[in-house]
Amino acid sequence: MGHQFTHSNSKRRASVVHGSVGKAGLFLPQDFIHNRNIRDEESTSEARNTLPQETSPLLAVGDDGPKGRRHSSYDHDILEQERDLLKYSHYPMNDGETDGEIVASFEDAVLAHRISTNTWIEFVALIKSALPLVVTFLLESSFPTVSVFSVGHLGATELAAASLGSMTANISGYATIQGIATALDTLCPQAFGASKYHLVGSYVQKCIALTTVVMVPILLIWTFVGYELVRLIVPDESTAKLASSYLLYIAPGIPAYILFESGKRYLQAQGIYHISTYVLFVCAPLNAFMNILLVKHIGYLGAPIAVAINYWLMCLGLFFSTLYLVKPENTPSGHHPLVCWNGLNITDAFSGWTRLLPLAIPGLIMLEAEFLYFEFMTLMASYLGTVPLAAQSIGSTVAALTYQIPYAIGIAGSTRIANFLGAGLPDAAKLSTKVSLSFGTSTSVTSFVFLYIFRRHIALLFTSDERVISTLTKVMWLIALMQVSDGMNANSAGCLRGQGRTKIGGIVNFVSYYIVGLPLSYYLAFHSGIKGKLDGLWIGCLLALTIIGVVQSYYALAANYPKLCREVTQRVSNDAR
């Protein structure tokens, strides 16, 4: 969720999470909801006692009452949020209370179960949490998009090859990495919300190890049989050769991408969203510059080389910023991010995957089902001709780019919902789900309007071939309309991840895409009255996404939230032992 900070003491007073991008948002009582056994309490205590002194809680409360925060940790926005929540909760307080008295009143209100939230608080907190994520995902997704853009003016063959290589890398590489990492969207925020900080670092290490094991054979395939792999997708030999070269030269950047994705979620679980955004603010323009420069001097291969180099710069930038630039007083929890890191443990990283796999596999299926569906669409478009293939490649690239907006909102909602469940607040989790779905859908409508109005201008950004521009413009209305359904899909999937119910999404995605969408796309494109046109491909995709969005939203809203809270408490307690 958004920014978070923690109040705690030796007598198990409330652990409170504060959510936003700035210093504003929602406070969550975390560890006073459920009675924990002594083993759990000792585990949490041990994890906290391993921290250096400078990462102590913002507010310590001993037997004699509140000792007060360090003066440097008083933040005007945080105090105003506490004051506003106290007023909204109708908790008695005086207008002239000092900062320390506000903190004490808030502590008492939390202990008395008197703190509540509302739609507006959730809406503001979600916006502030989602904004840096939207920027982060858009900048991150710009890496392969820029590579397609930079080679698009070399010719239709180069454009199709770069798009095909990028999409193949997305499906077999990036989607695999992100799919497995979705397990962290559930486990890490829930562990952090339950004050089991050491589990966050443990989950991240396990995820990196699991992803590495999965990706090694995939990278070997890219390197040694990439051409044969691409030829299974497109019949054109020259296009396949260039696309396989793209895979070969982008492969060295994949290990860095694994580390960046896991590290990003490590920070997100703690409510720290801005670090990855800052890193990408530097690396994204650098990637664009390197693409233009290398393509100009090297040619087609300059694009994947530039992307691979910048993945390593992203990874190193994230690690450096986390270690040396983040200060405890500037984090939402009042802790340094390393509060969740108990050191590298290789043995632990490669064991105990039973908690990770039940979440990683459905998450992987959800993403792969969608990414692979687009690959099948590209395959079918290749049999319609080079021009439709180029137009389809651009359309898929645009759809992947705009998808990052609702996907980022879904991540923000997922983290917030998971924190609520970890804190034992079912009503707040349900309200956050409703707000996330509503906000995500509204932004998707905006994307629909934008793509429809500027459909020709968007095509001109990628190519100067009038045949490709004309073909893409005619089908762009469907791609634009799909934004609404895809937005529902992304946001409802985020809600299910926050609830730890990714299995539902995996099943719905597979059935909708491959039982409904794909057969319909094939029929319309090759055997119906609109055969030979890209419209048929996108109509099938639109229907599949609509089904997914509606079904997932229903399950997210109809969840038994008290039961989910109990399950989270049990899972985190077991893992802490």
Query: What is the rounded distance in angstroms from the CA atom of residue 149 to the CA atom of residue 462?
Result: 5
Higher model confidence: residue 435 or residue 335?
435
- Give the pLDDT score at 428: 82
Give percent of the chain above pLDDT 70: 80
Please list, in sequence order, all residues whose beta carbon lies within 8 angstroms of the beta carbon of residue 105, skipping any fewer than 6 positions away.
Answer: 86, 91, 93, 97
Q: Is residue 8 predicted with pLDDT exceeding 60?
A: no
- Give the pLDDT score at 22: 29
- Give the pLDDT score at 77: 54
Query: Can you tell me the mean pLDDT for 278-302?
Result: 92
Confidence of residue 15 (pLDDT cuts 50, 70, 90): very low
The pLDDT tens digits of the residues spanning 399-455 come to 888 888 898 899 889 888 887 787 777 888 899 999 999 999 999 999 999 999 999
82 touches 103 (CB < 8 A)? yes
Nearest to 384 by CA among 463, 467, 456, 478: 467
- Give the pLDDT score at 94: 63
Query: What is the rounded distance in angstroms from the CA atom of residue 161 to the CA atom of residue 164?
Result: 5
| DSSP states of 401-460 | HHHHHHHHHHHHHHHHHHHHHHHT-HHHHHHHHHHHHHHHHHHHHHHHHHHHHTHHHHHH
Higher model confidence: residue 223 or residue 55?
223
Q: Is residue 469 predicted with pLDDT exceeding 80?
A: yes
Q: Is residue 373 predicted with pLDDT exceeding 90?
A: no
Q: What are phi and psi of 284, to 5 degrees?
A: -65, -50
Give percent of the chain above pLDDT 90: 37
Higher model confidence: residue 480 or residue 75?
480
Query: What is the rounded distance in angstroms from the CA atom of residue 377 to the CA atom of residue 389?
Result: 9
Tell me whether strands 27-29 and 59-62 are parallel, antiparallel or unpaired. Answer: unpaired
- Give the pLDDT score at 116: 67
Query: Can you tell me the mean pLDDT for 70-99?
Result: 61
- Give the pLDDT score at 515: 95
Query: What is the rounded distance in angstroms from the CA atom of residue 197 to the CA atom of residue 188?
Result: 9
Higher model confidence: residue 535 or residue 327?
535
Higher model confidence: residue 256 or residue 269?
256
- Give the pLDDT score at 57: 30
545 touches 402 (CB < 8 A)? no
| DSSP states of 565-576 | HHHHHHHHHHHH
- Give the pLDDT score at 112: 59
Of 9-23, 329-343, 396-410, the range with the highest mean pLDDT is 396-410
- Give the pLDDT score at 43: 43
- Of 94-98, 187-191, 200-204, 357-361, the poorest mean pLDDT is in 94-98
Element (H or E) spanning 16, and its range? strand 16-18
Q: Is residue 263 predicted with pLDDT exceeding 80?
A: yes
Average pLDDT score, the chain: 79
Confidence of residue 58 (pLDDT cuts 50, 70, 90): very low
Each residue of 277-311: b (16+ CB within 10 Å) or e? bbbbeebbebbbebbbebbeeeebbbbbbbbbbbb
Higher model confidence: residue 564 or residue 397?
564
Confidence of residue 203 (pLDDT cuts 50, 70, 90): very high
Confidence of residue 138 (pLDDT cuts 50, 70, 90): confident
Residue 429 half-sphere exposure, CB side, CA atoms within 13 Å? 35
- Give the pLDDT score at 19: 28
- Give the pLDDT score at 111: 56
Q: Is residue 12 predicted with pLDDT exceeding 50?
A: no
